[in-house]
Amino acid sequence: MGDNAQTTFLDEVAALPACGKISECIQCGVCSGSCTTATHWEYPPRKVIAMVRSGLKDELLKSNSIWFCVSCYLCTARCPRDIKPASIVHGLESIALKEGYKPPTKTTTMYKTFSESIVNNGRIYEFGFMFKYYLQTNPLAALKMLPTALNLLAHKRMPLTPKKVKGKADLRIIINKLSAGGGK
């Protein structure tokens, strides 16, 4: 891959929210060593950053790396250069989705059902969110969660109907602004 292509991918990622310091990474590997799910990644966070800087876009976005991030933010808390690897990983997910790469995990379904719940109710509606998620991924897996769900219901820790926040119109304005890039 030529220099122009390398510059383009790096620039594309560096322009994403909270990703501007990617070029300052010193490849120390603290992010990979801290990452709670890196054992599942084809390329761990340190290498993901190296691949962005090397312009290996297709190889990276085709891999299972980035899709296993659980947003624990240990990498971000510990990075000695304030790079924010978690933001880079999530930025790469959005690029991959926009460009038609197919996620090898159920991560995007989880994000989608979670965010729909927030948009519709202003807060997470656990029962509806998990119901939708299992319906779209593996309905049989929901059976394993049944004892936990019944326990939560019995202790009134998980309402069957959603509780909506007040001021949903204001929430909509905030979401629209963020969707338009106002959250940068």
Q: Position 71: which residue type? A: S
CA distances from 88 to 23, 37, 110, 136, 157 (A): 12, 16, 19, 27, 35
Count residues contacting ligand SF4 (CB under 6 A)? 28
By CB under 6 A, name the one of 51, 56, 89, 92 that touches ligand SF4: 89
Q: Are 45 and 75 in contact (CB under 8 A)?
A: yes
CA–CA gap between residue 55 and residue 67 (Å, rounded): 19
Residue with tokens 């340190």: 46
Taking the complex as a whole, the smallest distance from the CB of residue 134 to ligand SF4 amounts, in Å, to 23
Q: Is 52 in the site for ligand SF4 (CB under 6 A)?
A: no
CA–CA gap between residue 153 and residue 131 (Å, rounded): 14
By CB under 6 A, name the one of 13, 83, 92, 96 that touches ligand SF4: 83
Which range in 10-18, 56-64, 67-75, 173-181 contacts ligand SF4 by CB under 6 A? 67-75
CA–CA gap between residue 20 and residue 7 (Å, rounded): 14
Taking the complex as a whole, the smallest distance from the CB of residue 24 to ligand SF4 amounts, in Å, to 7
Taking the complex as a whole, the smallest distance from the CB of residue 161 to ligand SF4 amounts, in Å, to 33
Residue 17, φ and ψ in degrees, nearest 5: -55, 130
Taking the complex as a whole, the smallest distance from the CB of residue 167 to ligand SF4 amounts, in Å, to 30
Where do the H-state alpha helices sit in 74-106? 74-78, 85-98
The site map against ligand SF4 for 12-51 (x = CB under 6 A) is -------------xxxxxxx--xxxx-------xx--x--
Residues that bind ligand SF4 (CB under 6 A): 25-31, 34-37, 45-46, 49, 69-75, 79-81, 83, 85-86, 89
